[in-house]
Amino acid sequence: MQNRRLRQLTASSLLAFAPLAFAGAAHAQQCRDHDPQRSVYWGDLHVHTAISMDAYSYQTRLRPDDAYRYARGETVKIGPLGEDGRGTVPFEIDRPLDFAAVTDHAHSFGGVRLCTTPGSPVYDSEECVTFRKPFRPKNIEEGTRVAVAIVDSLQSKAVCGADGERCRDSAREFWQETRRAAAAWNDTSPECSFTTFVAYEHTQTRDFTKVHRNVIFRSEHVPDLPISTLEEPEAEGLWRALDRQCMNGIEGCDALAIPHNPNLSNGRMFAIEYPEGSSRDEQARLARLRARMEPVVEMMQQKGESECRSGMWKVLGADEDCDFEKFRALQDVEDCKDGSGGGALAERGCRSRLDFARYALVEGLREADRIGVNPYAFGLIAATDIHNGAPGAVLESDLRQWGRRPPRVGFNPGGLAAVWAEENSRESLFSALRRREVYGTSGPRMTVRFFGGWDLPEDLCGQSDFAARGYAAGVPMGSDLPPRSGVGKAAPSFAIFATRDAGTEAAPGMPLQRVQIIKGWSDPDGTFHQQVIDVAGSRDNGASVDAKSCEPRGAGADQLCAVWRDPSFDPKQRAVYYARVLENPSCRWAGWMCVEGRADRHAQCDAPAIPKVIQERAWTSPIWYAPTN
C-alpha cells in the first residue's frame, strides 16, 4: 500500500484554471410533452460497442447505430458469433429507454479500427492478428493483464507508426461514426421520443486500478477528437483540456465527466490531492473545478455497487443494507485507511472508504470545512457499463446477455439513470445532470422524488400536488438547503415519495418494502458518521422469494411516502442527506439461472457463495446542509 500522495503540479499551474462558464438551466421549449414540474426519464450513459477494444475482444460486433436501435426497442443479435462473424442470439430490451449515450474507450479508437478494417496498412500485422483472436481468459486477473497488453499493442509503433499519426487519423473515423449515430437517433421533433448524447470513456487503468470517467457532451458541438488518456492521463488534465478545447474553444460546446466504479479504484478516485506548496485559495480553485466538471457519479453498474461498505476504517454507524452487490465480496481485502493502493481489477490491493460514494460525500464535507469548497458535491446515478452494445439490459431474469457461460460472482446486469427534466431533450436532460436532479437504480424503474427544506408541510404526503409544493417550500434532490429564515423551523425536514415499478406483463415490477433517509457527517479528526433511518414501510413486512421457483411471497406497497425532520440536527455542523428505496426481495440473475428444473442449470448453482436473491433499490442524489457562517 502506498501513502496518499500530492500530485507534482506547480502551484502556478492552478492559477491557469479560469472559472468555467456553463449554460443556464433555462431553455426554450422543444418538446410537446413539456412539464415545468418535471418528469422522470430513464436512460443509460455507459455503453460499449465493437468500437471498444475489450468489447470487440468479447465478440461484440454491434456498433453505435445498433446500440441506439436496441435502446429504442428494436431486436439486435449479440454473441456468441456465428461462422459469418455476426451475433447469433436475438436480443431486445424489455422497455425502450428515453435516452442513451455510447461511451466507447477513446484511447484505443485508432488501433481497433486499423486492426479490424481489412485492407488497412497493419491489418495483417502480428499485433492485429493477435487482437482479433478470441479472448477467453481463465480468470479476471489474467483477463485484465491480457487486456492491458492488448491495449499497449494497439498503441504501439507497429500499429500507429513512429509518430502515432496513423492511429490519430483512424481514431477520427470512429469518433465521426459515434457522432453520426448520435445525430441520427436524437429525436429533435416535437415528439422527443429519444435523446442521445455524443460521449466517450476516458480510461485510466494504471496499476490495475480503475479510475475511469465517461465524458458527456451537451450538444453536437464537440472537439475534433476525444481527449483520451493518451493525451491527458490524469483527471485534472482532462478537465483543463475540456475547458480549453470545448467550453472556451468551440461555440456551443459544454461537457461533464462522470466518474464510475470507484469501488475498484483502491482509494484513488476520490483521494484529496493538491499541488505541493499550494495555498488554500489555489486548492479551493481546483476543488471548485472538480465539482463543476463532475456533478454526478455513477455508483452502480455491472462491476458492482459503490454506495457504502460495512466495517470501513473510521466509519461509525451501522447499515444492515450496505453489503449489496459488492464486486470483491469474497476477497479478504486490507483496508487502505488514509492511503491508497493498486490492483483492484486483478483482485488485489487495499480497499478504501473513499472507494464508496457515501464516504466520498462525507469527505467533501470535511474538505469544505477546511477550504470553503466541497469538491465532492455530486449527485448519484447508475448505468450498465454493458460491453455487448445493448444499453439498458438490466432485467435479472433475461439471461441471454451472459451467453453460454455465467458471469463471475461479482457481476450483475447493472442499473439505470433517472433524470428529472422538463422534457426529453439534450438541453433539458443535460441541465438536470448539471444541477444533480437525478437518481440511480439497480435496474427497476421506481419513481422517486426527494425534497428538503425548513418549512415543508407536514401533511405533504397527503397532497395531490406533492412536487409543486416541494419545489415551492424547499429544494429537490441535488440541491443545497437555503439558509434558514427567521420564521423557519429549527431543523430541516425531508420529504420522500416513491412509486413502485409497474414492470411489464412478462416481468412485473416488485412492490416496495421501505424507504430510508441516510445522513452523513464528519468529526474534525476525520471520523465519519452514518445514520440510516427507516421513514416508511418496514423490513418486517414478511416479504420473501422462493429460491427454487423465483416466485415472490408476501405483501408490499405500491407507494411509500414520508416527511421526516432531523431530531439530532446540529446547526453548526455540515451534513449530507439522501434517500434510499428498497423493493421486496426477488431473484437475482443467479437465482433465475438456477431455477429448479431448468435444462441448462449450471454447476455453479450449487455454490453457496453466489447470492441467488437480490433486494433491488434506488438512491437519490443528496441534499446538503452548510452552516451560514
Whether 443 has a pLDDT exceeding 90, the answer reads: yes
Is 228 a domain residue? Answer: yes
Please report the pLDDT score of residue 404 as a whole number. 67
For the chain, percent of residues with pLDDT exceeding 70: 95
Whether 173 has a pLDDT exceeding 90, the answer reads: yes
- Contact call for residues 59 and 80 (beta carbons, < 8 A): yes
Same domain, 366 and 481: no
Query: Where among 422, 443, 464 does a domain terminate?
Result: 443
How many domains would you assign to the chain?
2
Residues 305-327: tens digit of each pLDDT: 999 999 999 999 999 999 999 98
Same domain, 439 and 484: no
Whether 162 has a pLDDT exceeding 80, the answer reads: yes
Cell numbers standing for residue 157: 509503433
Concatenated DSSP letters of 52-84: SHHHHHTT----HHHHHHHHTT--EEEEEE-TT
How sure is the predictor about 488, in pLDDT bands with cuts at 50, 70 and 90? low
Please report the pLDDT score of residue 3 as a whole number. 38
CA distance 482 to 488: 11
Is 559 a domain residue? Answer: yes
Same domain, 555 and 414: no
Residues 65-115: tens digit of each pLDDT: 999 999 999 999 999 999 999 999 999 999 999 999 999 999 999 999 999
Residues 529-574: tens digit of each pLDDT: 999 999 999 999 999 999 889 999 999 999 999 999 999 999 999 9
Please report the pLDDT score of residue 21 as a whole number. 34
Residues 269-294: tens digit of each pLDDT: 999 889 899 999 999 999 999 999 99
Q: What is the mean pLDDT of residues 211-218?
A: 98
Same domain, 425 and 504: no
Please report the pLDDT score of residue 332 as a whole number. 81
Please report the pLDDT score of residue 146 as a whole number. 80
Closest by CA position to 48, among listed 105, 100, 124, 133: 105
CA distance 61 to 323: 35
How sure is the predictor about 236, in pLDDT bands with cuts at 50, 70 and 90? very high
CA distance 78 to 137: 20
Is 59 a domain residue? Answer: no
Please report the pLDDT score of residue 273 as a whole number. 87
Q: Residues near 598 by Cβ (< 8 Å), separated by ≥ 6?
A: none
| Helix 280-293 / helix 357-371 crossing angle, nearest 10 deg | 140
Same domain, 525 and 409: no
How many residues appear in the chain? Answer: 629
Residue 516: domain span: 472-629
CA distance 514 to 618: 11
CA distance 147 to 139: 12
Strands 99-100 and 195-196, by their bridges, are parallel
Contacts 24+ apart (CB under 8 A), 547-554: 547/587, 547/591, 547/612, 547/613, 548/595, 548/596, 549/595, 549/596, 550/397, 550/586, 550/587, 550/591, 550/592, 550/595, 552/510, 552/584, 552/585, 552/586, 554/584
Closest by CA position to 616, among listed 451, 287, 396, 435: 396
CA distance 431 to 195: 14
Please report the pLDDT score of residue 263 as a whole number. 96
Please report the pLDDT score of residue 143 as a whole number. 75
Please report the pLDDT score of residue 336 as a whole number. 97
According to DSSP, the residues that pair with 289 across neighbouring strands are none
Whether 23 has a pLDDT exceeding 80, the answer reads: no
Residues 471-485: tens digit of each pLDDT: 999 999 999 999 988
Query: Where among 400, 426, 443 does a domain terminate?
Result: 443
Cell numbers standing for residue 380: 448519484
Please report the pLDDT score of residue 144 as a whole number. 75
Closest by CA position to 297, among listed 433, 421, 475, 479: 433
Whether 623 has a pLDDT exceeding 50, the answer reads: yes
CA distance 285 to 275: 12
Is 133 a domain residue? Answer: no
Is 549 a domain residue? Answer: yes
Cell numbers standing for residue 294: 463532475
CA distance 400 to 405: 10
Same domain, 408 and 499: no
Residue 467 CB: number of other CB atoms within 10 A?
19
Is 69 a domain residue? Answer: no
Q: Which of 13-17, 188-192, 306-310, 468-472 has the lowest mean pLDDT?
A: 13-17
Q: What is the mean pLDDT of residues 586-596?
A: 92
Q: How many angstroms from the chain centroid is the CA of residue 131?
A: 29
Same domain, 282 and 166: yes
Please report the pLDDT score of residue 26 as a whole number. 43
For the chain, percent of residues with pLDDT exceeding 90: 83
Please report the pLDDT score of residue 12 as a whole number. 34
Residues 520-529: tens digit of each pLDDT: 999 999 999 9
Q: Which amino acid is at 355?
A: D
Is 391 a domain residue? Answer: yes
- Contact call for residues 419 and 426 (beta carbons, < 8 A): no
CA distance 190 to 547: 47
CA distance 135 to 124: 18
CA distance 349 to 357: 19
Same domain, 437 and 483: no
Same domain, 385 and 286: yes
Is 302 a domain residue? Answer: yes
Same domain, 424 and 499: no
Please report the pLDDT score of residue 549 as a whole number. 94
How sure is the predictor about 202, in pLDDT bands with cuts at 50, 70 and 90? very high
Same domain, 584 and 516: yes
Residues 39-70: tens digit of each pLDDT: 999 999 999 999 999 999 989 999 999 999 99
Please report the pLDDT score of residue 582 as a whole number. 98
Same domain, 485 and 415: no
